[in-house]
Structure 1
Amino acid sequence: MTTDESIISYAVKVNSGSGVLVSALSPAFSYVLTAHHVIGDPIVVNRNGQELNIIGVPYRHPDYDCSIIKVEYQSDISQHIWRGELDAGSRISYVGYPRSNVGSDRPYKIYTGTSNDQAHQLIVCNLDNSPSQESIEGMSGGGVYCIRGGHPFLWGIEARMDDEDADARYGRIRCHSMECFDQIIEANQLAKMAPFYMRCFSNLKSDIFHFNAANPGNVEKLRLKLGQLAEWLIDQNMPAPHDLMVRYKRELLLGDKEPDSTVLDRDLWVAYLEFAVVCSILDAVDVIDEAYLESLDRRRRFMYSCSDDNWLWKLSDLIKSARDMLDANGAILVNSPQENAADLPGAEDIQDVLDDIASSPNFRAMTRIDSAHGDIVKTYSFAHLKGLRNKLVLDKHREYGRSSSGQQLAIFKEYYDRAIKEGS
């Protein structure tokens, strides 16, 4: 699906205007974000020509022209939201259903443009080719997107053209930031805007520990056992992905360049569930709650990158994170899309990074690498979950195949425990 196809797929027609579908932490409904002035009585929301059932009355912001409408649950929404600022001049896309396109085989329209300014929860953008007000009538309530890493992120909802003088309304649109809609949700105690799978790890348990071994049957009993452990942890009220996202925020992300929105990636939370299962095995715990997380935070952390670059390129970021987050002998388990990842960094990889850090003026101003702090750094462990899977499960599938289910889990524990300790 192209970027344009993605943003079009979430665009809806709301009475005389437009709107955008976003997911909520509920299996019962989804949200439509729109400008309040386009909503009619009765409310009619159409998606791809199909009318959606409306749930209750719309929720309106007390100060701004924006509203949230509950509609029947839409299972195919994977909308990403950008809540940060954009530099002036950043490229944007704006999508909606102009009246001029009604009845055509292309009822929507996409404009491109640039961000101009953002203040007091209002965003102003300049559209390319300066379309007139008549050209975009019907697009009020449409979504304004920024593109990051080739993916569209919903940044605002258009409400009107910016100029007060009707004769000057060419190409400048005024939009409400996502903060306005967050305020509606908070004031009305509604479910948060986030992918539904963030509501509970039970939505992700079928995706964990897929072992593509040369003989899958050899590790099938292990996979089932790990799945049972995951189900048990979930049943014991393991914190939901959304709760963990709020708890850790960017501490889950590998490097400063990782987009904030990565914390909503489904793959991150599938990997986190695997991390939680591994931790429960290594620590012989059967409940993951706030007390356990408190005990874990200075010992072992999970970090994720959405890049499929070699994870060893980011050892410097990992070491810096470890210095901030871990006590001596702590470990960071990494995951990323890199399928052929090395399980552990080599001793030379670590030393090269330490030498590079030690040579920087900023580091010398804080502490020397051969100080006591530097000695602590050398006790940290770093490992890649896919690399561990490849080396400790897939490469050893025959050993697992010769063992019973209970023995397989003991083998798994021994290998993972040894590998993480040897990674320091």
Structure 2
Amino acid sequence: MTSQIDKIRSHVVMVIDGSGVLIHPAFGDHSYILTAKHVLETEENSGEYHDIDKITVTKINGDTIDLLRRIVSVDNDIAILITSTKLDSDLQIAVSKPERNNRVFYYGYPGIRRTLEPRDQLREYPGQINEVEGDRFSVTLDGRPLWSEIAGASGGGVFVEIGGDIFLQGIESRVEGVVDREFHGKVICTPIAMIEKIISEAGLEKIHPPAMASFIGLVDKTFRCFSQAEDPENLRFLMNQLKERGSALISANHINPLTLYEKLNKKLLVKDCPEQNLYNEELWIAYFEFLIISCLIDDVDTVDFSYIDDNSTRRRFLFSTDQENWIWKLLDIFRSDFRGLKRGGKIIVSSGDSAPKHEARSSSLERVVFDIGRRQKSEIMVDSGITNPAIDFKVYNLTGLHRFCVVDADDRFSNYYAGNEGYGEVELMALVKGLYNAYI
């Protein structure tokens, strides 16, 4: 938790007499300071806002941040300050929407602490999400602090812990109720979705991990398990050929992790896998491998959305970070979203299992057939005509297939290299196509 607190401390800033959060867009030479727009008012409730040269932003160490311009929302209590230069930041937004009863942490700089030592000025307000609406959510703060304990923290960040890391869930806007008559220790917050809307309307760079902008940066991270072969040199030519095919596949047509995230969303995840994993780089590396192998089998040279749709009717990729034996999770796998996958379709799973088998034993599948078959139809997400996904689909592990088809038989590839008659690129790709096509 210490590292999480340090992360929050390095990103929550003072904005005039309020608070804000430092975060990066995916690209560009600038950073954003997110805050509540009323923090920038020249006078309370005036609707007039300070010019950029009158706005001071201060980090926890006392350093001030130079600003370039400001964007003030018309409809929501949100403002975005654009910094003059790009600042250090490793904070990411929460992908999942706020949910009632979720635990969160609100951080800001209350006025009553402004005279303390810098490290003591920032305050944490743990709490629980209460009501959720489209453009706002409320948080009940533990201990129901008084208004005087919160004043000055407006515009601060609301953070959520997911998978051992901290993500930004929203920006605090104001206290709930009339302060001198019915304040109950609740605050109203603006969710990330509203901030993303303002960013889009203003034509600003989006906030997402840089790796999601293009598959090009992921090419060299694909097929890393090939290096675990008894003699990795046997697979060097194959790795290079697959990576070259990957680079060529996504050179056009705007196919990148971000557009696929927007198109496929939670269909990429094993049932109950945290939605935040849609921003996980490992998901997109694995999906890229899946795409390269699929295109090799289908003799496809470039990828467009039409191919993505067609491939999804025959093969379905699923991701999970769970590090346990993936076969133990078959029930969750078959409870995932398979709408659009035709009878006889193949499910290809990527998980955190470090040494997975490529497929489950028949006895393991039979147990799941019974469990799935006894469930209500509303629990199973399949097209009409599919009675039991554990019967109608085949399931494999992606890394397990790599190991079974290639890694554990690396000596089979030792004679393949460029210019070797009968053992060149064409023959190698034909061999690999046949090995994977036998399964997916």
- TM bucket (normalised to shorter chain) is 0.7 to 0.9
Q: Deviations over 1:354-378 (max 9, x none)?
A: 1222334x25999xxxx98459864
Matching of residue 151 in structure 1 with residue 162 in structure 2? no
Kindly report the root-mean-square deviation, in angstroms, between the aligned alpha carbons of the 2 structures.
3.0
Equivalent in the alignment of 1:97: 109
Is the 2:91–2:168 contact (alpha carbons within 8 Å) kept by the matching residues of 1? no
Equivalent in the alignment of 2:295: 280
Match of 1:117 among 131, 140, 145: 131
Is the 1:96–1:108 contact (alpha carbons within 8 Å) kept by the matching residues of 2? yes
Matching of residue 217 in structure 1 with residue 229 in structure 2? no
What is the distance in 2 between the residues matched to 1:73 and 1:14?
Answer: 18
Equivalent in the alignment of 1:239: 255
Consecutive unaligned residues of structure 2, counting only runs of 5 or more, are 41-49, 419-424
Equivalent in the alignment of 1:261: 276
Residues 49-60 of structure 1 aligned to structure 2 (within 5 Å): 49=61, 50-55=63-68, 57-60=69-72
What is the distance in 2 between the residues matched to 1:292 and 1:68?
Answer: 38
Measured after TM superposition, the shift of residue 200 of structure 1 is 1.4
What is the distance in 2 between the residues matched to 1:66 and 1:373?
Answer: 47
2:354 is paired with a residue whose SS is coil
Equivalent in the alignment of 2:396: 383
Q: Deviations over 1:234-253 (max 9, x none)?
A: 32335111111111111111
Is the 1:322–1:332 contact (alpha carbons within 8 Å) kept by the matching residues of 2? no
Equivalent in the alignment of 1:27: 28
Q: For the structure 1 residues 354 and 180, does the alpha-carbon distance in structure 2 shift closer, same or farther, using more than 3 Å as the test?
A: same
What is the distance in 2 between the residues matched to 1:372 and 1:300?
Answer: 17
Is the 2:358–2:404 contact (alpha carbons within 8 Å) kept by the matching residues of 1? yes
Q: For the structure 1 residues 98 and 348, does the alpha-carbon distance in structure 2 shift closer, same or farther, using more than 3 Å as the test?
A: same
Measured after TM superposition, the shift of residue 225 of structure 1 is 1.8
Counterpart code for 2:330: L
Match of 1:271 among 286, 289, 300: 286
What is the distance in 1 between the residues matched to 2:162 and 2:332?
Answer: 21
What is the aligned residue count?
412
Counterpart code for 2:434: E
Equivalent in the alignment of 1:415: 435
Q: Deviations over 1:331-358 (max 9, x none)?
A: 1211122111221122222222112223
Equivalent in the alignment of 2:47: none
What is the distance in 2 between the residues matched to 1:231 and 1:21?
Answer: 34
Is the 2:297–2:433 contact (alpha carbons within 8 Å) kept by the matching residues of 1? yes
Measured after TM superposition, the shift of residue 83 of structure 1 is 4.5
Q: Which moved more, 1:16-25 or 1:164-173?
A: 164-173
What is the distance in 2 between the residues matched to 1:60 and 1:266?
Answer: 32
Measured after TM superposition, the shift of residue 254 of structure 1 is 0.8
Q: For the structure 1 residues 137 and 372, does the alpha-carbon distance in structure 2 shift closer, same or farther, using more than 3 Å as the test?
A: closer
Is the 2:98–2:191 contact (alpha carbons within 8 Å) kept by the matching residues of 1? no
Counterpart code for 2:351: S
Counterpart code for 1:242: L
What is the distance in 2 between the residues matched to 1:285 and 1:120?
Answer: 42
Match of 1:81 among 84, 94, 112: 94
What is the distance in 1 between the residues matched to 2:401 and 2:188?
Answer: 50
Residues 356-371 of structure 1 aligned to structure 2 (within 5 Å): 356-360=371-375, 362=376
Measured after TM superposition, the shift of residue 78 of structure 1 is 4.2
Is the 1:145–1:153 contact (alpha carbons within 8 Å) kept by the matching residues of 2? yes
Measured after TM superposition, the shift of residue 301 of structure 1 is 1.7
Could you tell me the percent identity over the aligned residues? 28
What is the distance in 2 between the residues matched to 1:242 and 1:69?
Answer: 24
Match of 1:62 among 56, 61, 74: 74
1:294 is paired with a residue whose SS is helix
Counterpart code for 1:380: F
Equivalent in the alignment of 1:204: 218
Matching of residue 6 in structure 1 with residue 7 in structure 2? yes
Equivalent in the alignment of 1:353: 368
What is the distance in 2 between the residues matched to 1:376 and 1:116?
Answer: 37
Q: For the structure 1 residues 77 and 364, does the alpha-carbon distance in structure 2 shift closer, same or farther, using more than 3 Å as the test?
A: closer
Equivalent in the alignment of 1:179: 193
Is the 1:77–1:195 contact (alpha carbons within 8 Å) kept by the matching residues of 2? no
Is the 2:372–2:390 contact (alpha carbons within 8 Å) kept by the matching residues of 1? no
Counterpart code for 1:65: D
Is the 2:22–2:31 contact (alpha carbons within 8 Å) kept by the matching residues of 1? yes
What is the distance in 1 between the residues matched to 2:207 and 2:353?
Answer: 29
Match of 1:126 among 134, 140, 143: 140
Is the 1:328–1:377 contact (alpha carbons within 8 Å) kept by the matching residues of 2? no
Tell me the TM-score normalized by structure 1.
Answer: 0.86
Q: Which moved more, 1:72-81 or 1:232-241?
A: 72-81
Matching of residue 194 in structure 1 with residue 214 in structure 2? no
